[in-house]
């Protein structure tokens, strides 16, 4: 195995000098603050995840009407609440979404339910592979399905999905979907996350997608 190529010698030196005295001071300062306050210091990227997770928890704890109010307050400018065919926080396991797909009345409803079923059955085919979910994407936006890579795994896998938010913009409908992922390990609470998709009104296809977060469940 140890037939080292000559160029490997270069790698004994670091690629860059990034651990600066300023960063060291920043960390020491954070740890002191933590000791004084008794609270953990949290980096910006972790805060972003936690804030998003907190929003999800708040949403799940609130009643149906409250959720509508909560999210309508968070809507971006120019986006209005859709009357919609999905009740907020509506959703469930694979059987629920299969039933919804079979009973879908509109193109957008069909696309959302079909895409969720594809994700739950891992018919995603990220990174260039063809799969069932392709039928629900605008062909020019098919690369966006790569963002679903976290869901294209045997563990943790998506077991439940809920419509947390449904809004309309001038081109179609934005669905924010809350997800529950299970690992199959006894006692493991698993993960929760969300993704948001924009379904174009004319084509009935997904033309924008984001996978906002996947965080460990706390209990």
For other proteins, the binding residue among 81, 90, 123, 150 (CB under 8 A) is: 150
Q: How many residues bind other proteins (CB under 8 A)?
A: 50
- 157 to each of 60, 119, 129, 185, how far by Cα in Å? 20, 9, 19, 12
Contacts of 112-115 with C-beta under 8 Å, sequence gap 24+, read: 112/86, 112/163, 112/175, 112/177, 112/197, 112/199, 115/197, 115/206
For other proteins, the binding residue among 93, 103, 143, 188 (CB under 8 A) is: 143
Is there binding between residue 7 and other proteins (CB under 8 A)? Answer: yes
For the window 81-120, what string marks contact with other proteins as x by the rule CB under 8 A?
Answer: ----------------------------------------
Is there binding between residue 52 and other proteins (CB under 8 A)? Answer: yes
Per DSSP, what are the bridge partners of residue 166?
175
Task: Output the smallest distance, CB 210 to other proteins, in A.
Answer: 3
Is there binding between residue 32 and other proteins (CB under 8 A)? Answer: yes
Nearest in space to 119 (alpha carbons), one of 217, 219, 211, 218: 211
* Helix boundaries (H) for 103-213: 107-120
For other proteins, the binding residue among 81, 168, 215, 217 (CB under 8 A) is: 215
Structural contact between residues 166 and 175, judged by C-beta atoms closer than 8 angstroms: yes
Per DSSP, what are the bridge partners of residue 213?
194
Is there binding between residue 78 and other proteins (CB under 8 A)? Answer: no
Distance CA(75)–CA(69), nearest Å, equals: 10
Distance CA(118)–CA(151), nearest Å, equals: 10
Is there binding between residue 76 and other proteins (CB under 8 A)? Answer: no
- Nearer residue to other proteins within complex by CB, 104 or 208: 208
Contact footprint for other proteins (CB under 8 A):
1, 5, 7-8, 10-19, 23-24, 26-28, 30-32, 34-35, 40-41, 43-46, 48-49, 51-52, 140-141, 143-144, 147, 150, 196, 207-215
């Amino acid at each position: 195995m140890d037939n080292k190529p000559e160029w490997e010698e270069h790698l004994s030196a670091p690629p860059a000098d990034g651990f600066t005295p300023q960063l060291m001071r920043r960390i020491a300062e954070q740890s002191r603050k933590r000791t004084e306050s008794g609270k953990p210091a949290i980096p910006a990227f972790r805060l972003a995840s936690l804030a998003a997770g907190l929003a999800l928890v708040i949403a799940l704890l609130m009643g149906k009407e409250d959720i509508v109010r909560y999210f309508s307050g968070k809507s971006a400018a120019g986006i209005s609440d859709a009357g919609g065919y999905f009740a907020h926080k509506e959703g469930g396991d694979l059987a629920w979404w299969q039933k919804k797909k079979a009973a879908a009345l509109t193109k957008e409803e069909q696309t959302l339910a079909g895409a969720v079923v594809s994700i739950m059955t891992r018919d995603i085919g990220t990174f260039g592979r063809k799969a069932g979910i392709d039928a629900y994407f605008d062909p020019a936006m098919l690369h966006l399905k790569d963002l679903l890579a976290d869901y294209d795994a045997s563990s943790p896998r998506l077991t439940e999905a809920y419509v947390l938010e449904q809004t309309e913009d001038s081109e179609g409908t934005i669905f924010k979907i809350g997800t529950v992922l299970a690992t199959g390990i006894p006692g493991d609470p698993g993960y929760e996350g969300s993704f948001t998709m924009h379904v174009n009104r004319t084509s009935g296809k997904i033309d924008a997608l984001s996978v906002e977060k996947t965080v460990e469940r706390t209990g």
